[in-house]
Amino acid sequence: MGEPPGYRPSAWVHLLHQLPRADFQLRPVPSGFAPQEQEYQQALLLVVALAGLGLGLSLIFIAVYLIRFCCCRPPEPPGAKSPQPGGGCVTWSCVAALLVSCAGIGIGFYGNSETSDGVSQLSSALLHANHTLSAVDHLVFETVERLGEAVRTELTTLEEVLTHRTELVAAARGARRQAEAVAQQLQGLAFWHAVPLSPLQVAEDLSFVEEYRWLAYVLLLLLELLVCLFTLLGLAKQSKWLVIVMTVMSLVVLVLSWGSMGLEAAAAVGLSDFCSNPDTYILNLTQEETGLDSDILNYYFLCNQAVSNPFQQRLTLSQRALANIHSHLQGLEREAVPQFPSAQKPLLSLEETLNVTEGNFHQLVALLHCRGLHKDYGAALRGLCEDALEGLLFLLLFSLLSAGALATALCSLPRAWALFPPRNPSASCSGSRLSEPLLPARLEPAPPLRSFPGGRRRPH
């Protein structure tokens, strides 16, 4: 979050950076979710390794089955044209496996959409929280700048005009001290101005990663859908070359399905561990990354009556100082304007500045309340722990159905295309001749003329 456009810091705002930061010890509360620990990372790698083990076992099973099918098949007697028994069962089992894979593709599209919706909800919550924090900083800087300008110009002019009346000058100086006190108290409300962690940057990074994740899953789902459709087409047309190509593609998709299953399982386990107690982990992580006081973080993350507002004292002192400025200005307007008409213009300008300051102060009170940021925090958790986690579970189910269906299809496809009838070239040639009725007929020798009784043969 940067400064608002057109913002020019003054000496009043520089006081914000010169104030000493409170010294406090970071005391993180122990959390069950610790992704930085080596043991936890090894546990997640074990989950991924289980998917790799499943891939290896399925490939070994398919290889053993195909070797047994190719090497242990009994020889066919010469001239046998009848199909082998069980050929229809093999074909239909392959078709059923492909249909199950198509159903898994539908589940995968739904899971991919749910995961994307959850991440989008998380990004939207981060953007709204960034808007709230930026608005707080902008209001603080604007109010401090207005008060500093009023002290430098209107109050200085008013003191010069009221030089001959000591009690009126004292009232103007009292208003000056109260304005400085308000500016000093408001400076402490911009608690996020020096924090290196930007919710906007986090939201942009999440959206960038999610865009490529969503696209990768869409391509995987479309690839598997095309493999299933072309395999069914090859079985229907009894095309050996198409079924062989789709068998190789099914093997590729099988490997991708097991790989995605490992990633989805690890992500689902880690996310479920995080969602079991997210407050403690996020509180510790935010405190470590930002260096903010734990009272501020507890107030916004928990937002209950047991945690008091850490800015309540500053807000109360600012409100009292603004009320004192009002009383000073009203007294000056009542006493000074009849005797010093030139004091009316700076007093009116000060009243206008004070009205704007009070409006900004009320906006700050609303923005600094924990309701807004805690609502964004709850929306982010719902998107991550409900929609995204549900989508990951559906993607895990898709990968499981896809791996099982493709393994079954890979075992059934070689037996299915081995039962396809061979193409007879002579039969096809004869069929082509029958299908061409407009070809000219072959010329045959004319039969000899028969002689009739009583007829004479012409002389040659």
pLDDT reported for residue 259: 94
Q: Comparing 417 with 220, which gets the higher pLDDT?
A: 220
Q: Which residue has the tokens 């007829």?
A: 455
* Those residues with Cβ within 8 angstroms of residue 240's Cβ, 6 or more apart along the chain or in another chain: 234, 417, 420
What is the Cα–Cα distance from 181 to 317, expressed in whole angstroms?
A: 8
Query: CA angle, 127 as apex, 121 and 129 as ends, to 5°?
Result: 105
Residue 82 pLDDT > 70, yes or no? no
Q: Is 385 helix (H, G, I), strand (E, B) or coil?
A: helix
At 420-442, the pLDDT tens digits run: 766 654 444 444 444 444 344 44
CA dihedral defined by 203, 204, 207, 211, rounded to 10 degrees? Answer: -170
Instruction: Give yes or no for residue 333 having a pLDDT over 90.
Output: no
C-alpha–C-alpha distance, residues 213 and 119, integer Å? 11
What's the token pair of residue 221? 């789902």
Residue-wise pLDDT for 335-377, tens only, equals 888 888 888 888 888 889 899 999 999 999 999 999 999 999 9
Mean pLDDT of the chain: 81
The percent of residues in the chain predicted with pLDDT above 90, rounded, is: 43
Q: What is the pLDDT of residue 305?
A: 81
Rounded to whole angstroms, how far apart are CA atoms 260 and 254? 10
